[in-house]
């Protein structure tokens, strides 16, 4: 039988992610639409996003934080194009986005002194092989694999190179090790449920020193430029964005940040995401047809929670039949309005990916999980 209840908000996409509880368009009615982003009031709103982000995330005072174009992808590529090439680089990847950064560095920047450390979906590379005399590029949380680094203990405090961290699906859901990170990037559309197209970048004093002392050998597009005349362009980190931002999106980002402060800041955001993971862990433990893609429980993401099918019935299917089953599982539930956008990423192994960031209510995940059981049984029984 179909489950008797549906989630109040059946939105489990890993980006753009669910809006915060209680969100409505009315929250954006004070947005400075039709105003120049260079106007005094507009710059103040943009700066407020930066300031509130720094406060909630407890970013050190001597680090700078700015809003940049093209979401997290733009922020990561800004860092790669602006900072790499001064020394060798270790590239770490265990899912599709980390692999994309390797492609950028080897095929686009054409760097030669590159060491790649990779792992299959579900695992992390061997961090003991990382050379911290090099720059190190990695994702904190693999959005398409559901595998995260447990902490920053593996990063050498005596590193010579920079650590560049794509943290887009981790920021606001983990307690970042700021003293171990020199560049951190994310987008508004992930844990805080903001709108897409805008990214954020944080630079440590060591990263700033690199920007001011090193000039890459390749041309830098305007949207990647962080220095002028050998000095950091401070305006980028003071509300003067590189290009035009959407003031509607700025207002939406502020709405999410204010909500985060009201409910208790970073500790509460982390607790909400961990509660979502725990609910799914309890459900997985009671089922024999599904399991986590992450092989080590300490490496399970609490945001992009990735699961794989383990039923012997499923494993006996052909590749084509497995694909049909996976798509059908999602379609059945979406047709019932009980859950949306929870299929695995296109490059990841077939399975389920449930967003468990802080804007998702645990009660909605608990209401959603029985629908997965129902859809699986329907498919298995040929209904």
Tokens at residue 330, please? 């999602």
Distance CA 294, CA 255 (A): 33
What lies within 8 Å, CB to CB, of 59 at 6+ separation is 53, 65, 178, 202
Determine the pLDDT at residue 382. 83
What lies within 8 Å, CB to CB, of 330 at 6+ separation is 342, 343
What residues are paired with 198 via a beta bridge?
A: 69
Distance CA 23, CA 364 (A): 15
Q: Report H helices in the chain.
A: 40-57, 71-83, 96-103, 205-213, 247-263, 266-285, 312-315, 319-335, 362-380
Tokens at residue 11, please? 């939105």
What residues are paired with 184 via a beta bridge?
A: 165, 202
Determine the pLDDT at residue 383. 65
Determine the pLDDT at residue 347. 92
Distance CA 52, CA 64 (A): 13
Tokens at residue 348, please? 């990841």
Distance CA 303, CA 140 (A): 12
Chain position carrying tokens 């902490």: 151
Give the Å distances, CA to CA, from 148 to 242, 307, 339, 376. Answer: 31, 14, 25, 28
What residues are paired with 89 via a beta bridge?
A: 114, 135
**Do the Cβ atoms of 314 and 329 come closer than 8 Å?**
no
Phi/psi-derived region of residue 296, left when phi > 0, alpha when psi is between -120 and 50, beta in every other case: beta
Longest CA span, the chain? 68
Residue environment code for 336-350, b if the CB has 16+ CB neighbours within 10 A, otherwise e? eebbbbbbbbeebbb
Handedness of CA 348, 11, 277, 258 (dihedral sign): positive
Strand 227-228, strand 231-232: pairing: antiparallel
Burial status of residue 167 (CB atoms within 10 A of its CB: 0-12, 13-18, 19 or more): buried
What residues are paired with 118 via a beta bridge?
A: 93
What residues are paired with 163 via a beta bridge?
A: 136
If the chain, 383 residues long, is cut into consecutive pieces of 10 residues, what is the mean pLDDT of each piece? 97 98 97 97 98 98 97 98 98 97 98 97 98 98 97 97 98 95 98 96 98 97 96 96 96 98 98 98 98 97 98 97 97 98 96 98 98 97 80
Task: Express as a percent the part of the chain with pLDDT over 70.
Answer: 100
Determine the pLDDT at residue 275. 98
């Amino acid at each position: 039988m179909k489950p008797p209840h549906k989630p109040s908000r059946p939105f489990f996409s890993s980006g753009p992610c669910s809006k915060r509880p209680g969100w409505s368009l009315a929250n954006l009615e004070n947005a400075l639409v039709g105003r120049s982003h260079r106007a005094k009031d507009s710059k103040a709103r943009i700066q407020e996003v930066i300031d509130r982000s720094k406060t909630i995330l407890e970013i050190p005072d001597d680090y700078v934080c700015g809003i940049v174009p093209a979401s997290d992808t733009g922020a990561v590529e800004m860092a790669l194009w602006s900072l790499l090439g001064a020394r060798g680089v270790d590239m770490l990847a265990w899912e599709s986005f980390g692999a994309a950064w390797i492609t950028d560095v080897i095929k686009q920047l054409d760097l030669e002194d590159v060491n790649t450390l990779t792992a299959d979906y579900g695992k992390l590379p061997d961090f003991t092989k990382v050379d911290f005399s090099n720059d190190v590029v990695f994702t904190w949380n693999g959005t398409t694999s559901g595998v995260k680094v447990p902490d920053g203990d593996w990063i050498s405090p005596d590193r010579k190179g920079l650590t560049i961290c794509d943290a887009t699906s981790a920021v606001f859901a983990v307690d970042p090790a700021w003293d171990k990170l020199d560049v951190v990037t994310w987008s508004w559309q992930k844990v805080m449920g903001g709108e897409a197209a805008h990214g954020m970048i944080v630079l440590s004093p060591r990263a700033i020193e690199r920007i001011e002392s090193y000039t890459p050998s390749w041309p830098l597009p305007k949207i990647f430029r962080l220095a002028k005349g050998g000095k950091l362009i401070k305006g980028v980190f003071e509300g003067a964005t590189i290009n035009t931002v959407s003031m509607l999106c700025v207002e939406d980002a502020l709405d999410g940040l204010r909500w985060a402060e009201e409910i208790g800041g970073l500790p509460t955001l982390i607790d909400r995401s961990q509660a979502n993971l725990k609910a799914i862990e309890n459900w997985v433990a009671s089922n024999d047809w599904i399991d986590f893609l992450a092989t080590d429980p300490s490496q399970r993401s609490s945001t992009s929670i990735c699961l794989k099918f383990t039923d012997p019935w499923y494993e006996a299917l052909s590749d084509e039949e497995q694909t049909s089953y996976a798509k059908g599982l999602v379609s059945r539930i979406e047709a019932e309005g009980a859950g949306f956008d929870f299929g695995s990423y296109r490059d990841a192994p077939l399975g389920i990916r449930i967003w468990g960031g802080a804007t998702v209510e645990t009660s909605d995940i608990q209401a959603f999980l029985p629908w997965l059981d129902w859809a699986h049984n329907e498919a298995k029984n040929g209904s």
